[in-house]
Amino acid sequence: VGVRTPKYTLAGCGPGSLRFLTVEVLELAAEAKVLAGASRLLELFPASPARRLPFEGPIDAWLERLASLEEDSVVVLVSGDPGCFSLASRITARFGIGACRVIPGISSVQVACAALGLTWENAAVVSAHSGLPRTWPDETRDPWVVLMGASGAEATVAAVAEHHERHCTVCDDLTLDTERIVRVLPQTLASLSPHPRRIVVLTRKSNHES
Ligand SMILES: C[S@@+](CC[C@H](N)C(=O)[O-])C[C@H]1O[C@@H](n2cnc3c(N)ncnc32)[C@H](O)[C@@H]1O
pLDDT digits (tens, 9 = 90+) for 115-174: 999 999 999 999 999 999 999 999 999 999 999 999 999 999 999 999 999 999 999 999
How much is the mean pLDDT over the chain? 96
Distance of CA 143 from the midpoint of ligand 1 (Å): 16
Cα torsion angle, 152, 155, 156, 157, sign: positive
Residue whose CA is closest, atom 14 of ligand 1?
197
Which residue's CA is the closest to the ligand 1 atom numbered 25? 147
- The pick from 81, 199, 200, 201 for probing ligand 1's pocket by mutation, whose C-beta has the most ligand atoms within 8 angstroms, reads 199
pTM of the model: 0.95
Query: Residue 5's pLDDT band (boundaries 50, 70, 90)?
Result: confident
| pLDDT higher than 60, residue 98 | yes
* pLDDT band, residue 2 (cuts 50/70/90): low
Q: In this model, does residue 209 exceed pLDDT 80?
A: no
